[in-house]
Copies of this chain bind each other. A is one copy, B any other.
Amino acid sequence: MRLVILCLCFSASLTQAQVDSAFFRKVFNEALENGQAYARLGELCKTIGSRLSGSPQAEKAVAWGKQMLSTYGFDSVYLQPVMVPRWERSKTESLVFSSTIFNAAIKGEKLQDYNCEAFEELPLKPAKQHRIPAVALGGSVGTKGKLQAGIVSVHSDAQMDSLGKAGALKGKMVLLNRPFPETYLNTFKAYGACVGQRVNGASKAAAYGAVAVLVRSMSNRCDLHAHTGVMIYDDKQPKIPAMAVATAVANLLDKLIQQDPGLQLTMQLGCQTLPDAPSANVVAETRGSKYPKSIIAFGGHFDSWDQGEGAHDDGAGCMHAFEALRLLKSIGYQPRHTLRCVWWMNEENGLRGATEYAAVAGKTNEKHVAALESDRGGFTPRGFGVDSAFLPKALKYKALLDANGIGEIEKGGGGADIGPIRKINPNAVLVGFIPDSQRYFDVHHSETDVFESVNKRELHLGAAAVAVMIVILDQELD
C-alpha cells in the first residue's frame, strides 16, 4: 500500500500546487527581480501615450500589445474585435475670463492663498484675459464658436435646485464645485461622493437654463491640472458643453465670483462625436491542465483618456495582468483552469469591450469560474475585494497574504469590466485588486498620469499580488 500512496501523492503534486509561504516567495521574488511590467508600461506610455477609444493611438496600442504579448510564448495571443465610440477633443479648446476687479484682487497673492499647499505658481499676472487650466469632459458637445456668459458657483445638488428654481442659472455657466470629502481613508469613496456632478451635472444645469457647466476636477489635490472624464447627457434636456477646471481654479473662481458678480467667461470647444470605429480587446492565455474550458479572466482596460499617458489608469492594470500570467509561467506553475489575461477596450466611455467580451463568451458557452479586475492604479498593493461567497476560501490564506502586505480582504469584488461576466456566469467569483489609494486621484484622467508617476517596485508588487490571488482562485475553485 505504501508505494501506491506515494504514487498518488506524486501524481497530485503535478496538478495541485502547494500554495504556501515558499510558493508566495517564488512569485514575489520573480516579480521583484525579473519583473517586466514596468519596462513594458514605459514602452506603452512613451512610444504611444494616451489611447482614447477609436483614436489612432488606441489602434497603435492594440497592435503593440498583440506583438509584445506574442514574444512571451503564451499558449495563445489574439484580438477580439469590437466597435467603439469615438469622441475627439479639438486642439483649440479654451476657457478664458476677464474681470474688472481680478487684477486688483490677485495682487501679491499666491496659489497657497487658495487653500493650496501645492507650491505651484498660479499664473496670477495682471492681464486683459486669463486662460484657465480646463479641459472638455469626454462626451461634451462643442460650443459652435465662442460662448460667453456670466458664472454661478454651486456646492451641492440642493443648492443647484434652489438657485435653478429661482431662475438664477438661466443663461449662465454653472461651476459645479463640490470638493472631495477628505475624511474617507479610501479615496475612491470620495470620488464616488462627487463624480455624479461630472457625469450628470450638465443636463441637470441645462434643465434650469444654464448654457454650459464647469466641473471641479475630481481630485484630492489642490493644483493647476484639470482632470477630464466621462459625462452623459439626458436626452430630454438641451446638450450644453462641459469642461473640467483645475481644483485651484475652482477655488479661485469661487472667490472672484463673490468679489465680481459680473464676471464673464468665454468658452471655445470644438470637440465632437464621430462615427463608431473598429477596435479590439487584447487577450493572452495559458491553457488549464485540468479544466481547459473553464476560465479565470483577469485584466484591466487598455483605453485611456486623452490626457497624460494612461499610466496608472489603466496601463498599470493591464501590465499587472500580463505580468501575472508571465510570472506564473516563468516559475513553472501549471494552472488547473485556463488563465486569461484580457485588456478590455473602451472602459472609459462606453464599456463596449467588456460587453462584447461577455457576449462572445455567452455565445460560445465559455464558463468563467472567476474574474479579477485591476483598475485602481499601480500603487503598493494592500489587498482585494472578494465576493461574499468566496470570502471564507480567500481568508484561509489570510496569514500568507498578511505576511506579504496584501491581507486587507474586504467584501465586494465588482469592477466595470468584469461586471458583464456575471450576467453569463452568475456563479463566477468576482475579485477587485486593491492598491493604496492615496495618490490615485492626484493623477487620474489628467496630464500628470504619466509613466514617471509609477514606481517600479510598487507596480511589480501589485503584479505579484494579482498572481497569487489568481492561484488561490485556481486552486480553490472547481
Binding site for B on A (CB under 8 A): 25, 28-29, 32-33, 38-39, 42, 46, 112, 117, 119, 182-183, 185, 187, 220-221, 380, 382, 404-405, 408, 436, 438-439, 442, 451-452, 455-458, 461
Question: Cβ of A39: which chain B residues have Cβ within 8 Å of it?
Answer: 112, 117
Given A117-B38, A182-B33, A451-B119, A187 contacting B439 (CB threshold 8 A)? no
A232 to chain B, nearest CB (A): 29
CA distance A408 to B25 in the complex (A): 19
Can you list 13 residue pairs at the A/B interface with Cβ under 8 Å?
A25-B183, A28-B183, A28-B185, A32-B182, A33-B182, A39-B117, A42-B117, A42-B119, A46-B119, A117-B456, A185-B405, A185-B461, A438-B457
Asked if residues B33 and A183 are in contact (CB atoms below 8 Å), the reply is yes
The chain B residue sitting closest to A39, CB to CB, is B117
What is the bound-complex CA distance between A5 and B458, given in angstroms?
A: 54
Nearest chain B CB to A50's CB is how many angstroms away? 16
Q: Are B405 and A408 in contact (CB under 8 A)?
A: yes
- Decide: B455 and A185 in contact? CB cutoff 8 A: no
| Distance in Å: Cβ of A43 to nearest Cβ of chain B | 9
Q: How far is the CA of A404 from the CA of B408 in the complex (A)?
A: 11
Asked if A455 and B436 sit within 8 Å, CB to CB, the answer is no
Rounded to whole Å, the gap between the CB of A233 and the closest CB of chain B is: 33
Kindly list chain B residues whose C-beta atoms are within 8 Å of the C-beta of A439: 455, 457-458
**Roughly how many angstroms separate A458 CA and B461 CA in the complex, as a whole number?**
19
Chain B nearest CB from A378 CB (Å) reads 11
Residues of B within 8 Å of A405, CB to CB, are 185, 382, 408
User: Which of A408, A439, A457 has the most chain B CB atoms inside 10 A of its CB?
Assistant: A457
The distance from the CB of A461 to the nearest CB of chain B, in whole angstroms, is: 7
Q: Which residues on the B side are within 8 Å of A458 (C-beta)?
A: 438-439
Chain B residues near A183 (CB, 8 Å)? 25, 28-29, 32-33
- For residue A457, which residues in chain B have a CB less than 8 angstroms away from its CB? 182, 187, 220, 438-439
Beta-carbon nearest neighbor of A459 in chain B: B438
CB distance from A35 to the nearest CB of B (A): 9
Which among A112, A117, A119, A187 has the highest number of chain B CB atoms within 10 Å? Answer: A117
- Provide the residues of chain B in CB contact with A380, threshold 8 Å: 380, 436, 438
- On chain B, the residues within 8 Å of A461 by CB distance are 185, 438
Question: In the complex, which residue of chain B has the Cβ closest to the Cβ of A405?
Answer: B185
Do A185 and B404 touch (CB < 8 A)?
A: yes
In the bound complex, how far is the Cα of B117 from the Cα of A38, in angstroms? 7
- State how many angstroms separate the Cβ of A191 from the closest Cβ of chain B: 13
Residues of B within 8 A of A187 (CB): 457
Separation of A29 and B190 alpha carbons in the complex (Å): 13
The residue of chain B having its C-beta at the shortest distance from the C-beta of A35 within the complex is: B182
What separation, in Å, do the CA atoms of A144 and B38 have in the docked complex? Answer: 44
Known: A25-B183, A32-B182, A438-B455. 8 other contacts (CB 8 A): A29-B183, A42-B119, A119-B452, A182-B457, A185-B404, A220-B457, A405-B408, A439-B455
Chain B CB within 10 Å, residue with most, of A25, A405, A438: A438
On chain B, the residues within 8 Å of A117 by CB distance are 38-39, 42, 456
> CA of A28 to CA of B32 in the docked complex: distance in angstroms?
33
List chain B residues, Cβ under 8 A from A438: 380, 455, 457-458, 461
Q: How far is the CA of A438 from the CA of B378 in the complex (A)?
A: 12
Which residue of chain B is the closest to A119 with respect to CB atoms? B42
Q: What is the CA–CA distance of A458 and B452 in the complex, to the nearest angstrom?
A: 19
CB distance from A471 to the nearest CB of B (A): 18
Residues of B within 8 A of A119 (CB): 42, 46, 451-452
A478 → B minimal CB distance (Å): 32
Q: How far apart are A331's CB and chain B's nearest CB, in angstroms?
A: 14
When chains A and B are docked, how far (Å) is the Cα of A220 from the Cα of B33? Answer: 11
What's the Cα separation between A442 and B458 when bound, in Å?
12
- When C-beta atoms are compared, the residue in chain B nearest to A120 turns out to be B452
Task: Select one of B220, B404, B456 contacting A221, CB under 8 A.
Answer: B456
Closest to A186 in B: B405
- Chain B residues with Cβ under 8 A from A42's Cβ? 112, 117, 119
CA distance A145 to B417 in the complex (A): 64
Chain B, Cβ-Cβ closest to A458: B438
10 closest A-B pairs by beta carbon, nearest first, are A39-B117, A32-B182, A438-B457, A29-B183, A438-B458, A380-B436, A38-B117, A32-B183, A42-B117, A439-B455
